[in-house]
Structure 1
Amino acid sequence: MPDASSPAPLVEVRGVNKYFGEHHVLKDIDMEVARGEVVIVIGPSGSGKSTLCRAINRLETINSGDIIIDGQRLPDEGKALARLRSEVGMVFQAFNLFAHKTVLENVTLAPIQVKKIPKAKAVERAMELLTRVGVEAHANKLPSQLSGGQQQRVAIARTLAMDPKLMLLDEPTSALDPEMINEVLDVMIALAQSGMTMIVVTHEMGFARKAADRVVFMADGAIVEEAPPETFFTDPSSDRAKDFLSKILH
């Protein structure tokens, strides 16, 4: 726990519970994320990882508890929620690009429409970001003309174009062919090293070990343990984590 002199965490999750019907998918979740921290959430399928990620952006409603971002309780709906969502970027498994718009149009759309940034300035910023993620040569192509890895890098650039305080990445490589995964992970590692606050749900253990400040391990809807990556991967404290790691680490 941070002491009184520490800056307030950017994200606070307090006693969060979520049900899908009778199914208790998030069980009394407590978590904090400091500014500039990279928290990677791992665990078996069905453990509640993606639901937690989506709840932090209120793409899933919660049944009880509180989620606080930058000192503000997550609004229920309306303009306050739209404003918060513009400050919390989300990258999904599916790239969710507009198929009929070019790469450049995909990246400039929200800054122009939501933030009212002048088009010329939005285009300049978009080209900087497309260069940063290595797809600037494809700016005038449609998403269908790009590989999956290139599309996901465009999706990351589109999220960055809104200058978010926080980025949520929900299994951003799980829909990709194996040879495309590393090109997206390289972008994510660079992003982590730049100081972006990130919560990443992933099965990529090498990435977790390399990029995380802290690993959060979930199972059966609860946080079982959390630790720095080196500690977690070499000396997990729970039997559940030991069992999980023994199955996936070779």
Structure 2
Amino acid sequence: MPEPLIELNAVNKWFGSLHVLRDVNLTVDRGEVVVVIGPSGSGKSTLCRAINRLETINSGTIIFDGKPLPEEGKQLARLRSEVGMVFQSFNLFSHLTILENVTLGPIKVRRESKAVAKERAMKLLDRVGIGNQADKHPGQLSGGQQQRAAIARALAMQPKAMLFDEPTSALDPEMVGEVLDVMTSLAVEGMTMIVVTHEMGFARHAAKRVVFMADGELVEQAPPAEFFDNPRSERARDFLSKVLQH
């Protein structure tokens, strides 16, 4: 068996007295797309953020590519360059052009030459469909375009895995599809992905596995067809009955 790329063992996290992750065990294989769904406040975003150590955990272990997550310093910077992260808000630098946003990490962190970084950035911007927007600033782009720029920026670091924390929840409905299309193409190409989302269609079509969380616990996980057609837990059935009516 090849070893998984991401492994969480008995992970616990508290915010004060609130127990947001409760003994979470999860493994994600290389090239696997895992979609995490569940009600608000179930710990999904915290789980995502713990994997690249934007949140520290109180107990348990998280292993990435065979090594425990580093505490801080250079190793942590390296980890963050290997685990791309896309947030609800686009987190682009407003004073830089889209091209500058995408080349910043490779030049500063990876010490790439500007020419190499620019060439890859342009290919990525073309790939996410906004190559013609490279010289604009984020404020001149639609939300969907900004989010696609954020995905290109994460990909520019050539990560081993991508984490998406509700990447479409801040977008107008007509822009959601263009971002999900980019994510679906990444999934097809074999990128290891953990996606926290409310987009059930994406979960059904792009995920290899759906993980359902509630109250900080990983309640159940199954391939999409099995999960959506025959959820095993009362919590998942209740959740699906609410979200699939819309």
Question: TM-score band, normalised by the shorter chain?
Answer: over 0.9
TM-score calculated relative to the size of structure 2 = 0.99
Report what 1:31 is aligned to. 26
Match of 1:126 in 2: 121
Q: 1:148 aligns with which of 130, 140, 143?
A: 143
Aligned equivalents of 1:220 and 1:120: distance in 2?
Answer: 48
SS at match of 1:245: helix
- 1:241 maps to what in 2? 236
1:90 paired to 2:85:
yes
Aligned length: 245
3-state SS of 2:85 partner = strand
CA distance, structure 1, for counterparts of residue 65 and residue 194 of structure 2: 15
The answer on 1:202 being equivalent to 2:197 is yes
Moved more, 188-197 or 77-86: 77-86
2:101 pairs, out of 106, 127, 148, with 106
Please give the secondary structure, in 1, of the residue aligned with 2:159. coil
Alignment-mate amino acid for residue 105 of structure 2 = A
2:59 is aligned with 1:64:
yes
User: 1:72-118 CA distances to partner (integer Å, 9 max, x unpaired)?
Assistant: 10011111111111111000000000000000000001101111111
Q: How many angstroms apart in 1 are the aligned matches of 2:98 and 2:19? A: 40
In 2, Cα distance between the equivalents of 1:105 and 1:64? Answer: 39
User: For the residues of structure 1 that align with 2:235 and 2:243, how far apart are their CA atoms?
Assistant: 13
* Superposition deviation, residue 207 in structure 1: 0.4
CA–CA distance in structure 2, aligned partners of residues 239 and 114 of structure 1:
46
- The CA deviation string for residues 1-31 of structure 1, in whole angstroms up to 9 with x for no partner, is xxxxx10000000000000000100000000
Q: 1:17, 1:214 → 2: CA distance? A: 22
Q: Which of 52, 60, 69 is matched with 2:47 structurally?
A: 52
Question: Could you tell me which amino acid in structure 1 is paired with residue 183 of structure 2?
Answer: M
Deviations 1:191-249 (A, max 9, x none): 11010000000000000001000000000000000000000000001111000000111
The corresponding residue for 1:179 is 174
TM-superposed CA distance for 1:190, in Å, is 0.4
- Partner of 2:3, secondary structure, is coil
- Separation in 2, partners of 1:187, 1:234: 26
Residue 11 of structure 1 pairs with residue 22 of structure 2: no
Give me the TM-score of the superposition, normalised by structure 1. 0.97
Q: Distance in 1 between matches of 2:108 and 2:49?
A: 23
Aligned residue in 1 for 2:217:
222
Question: How far, CA to CA, are the matches of 1:116 and 1:243 in structure 2?
Answer: 50
SS of the aligned residue for 1:173 comes to coil
Q: Amino acid of the residue matched to residue 70 of structure 1? A: D
Query: For 1:189 and 1:9, how far apart are their aligned partners in 2?
Result: 21
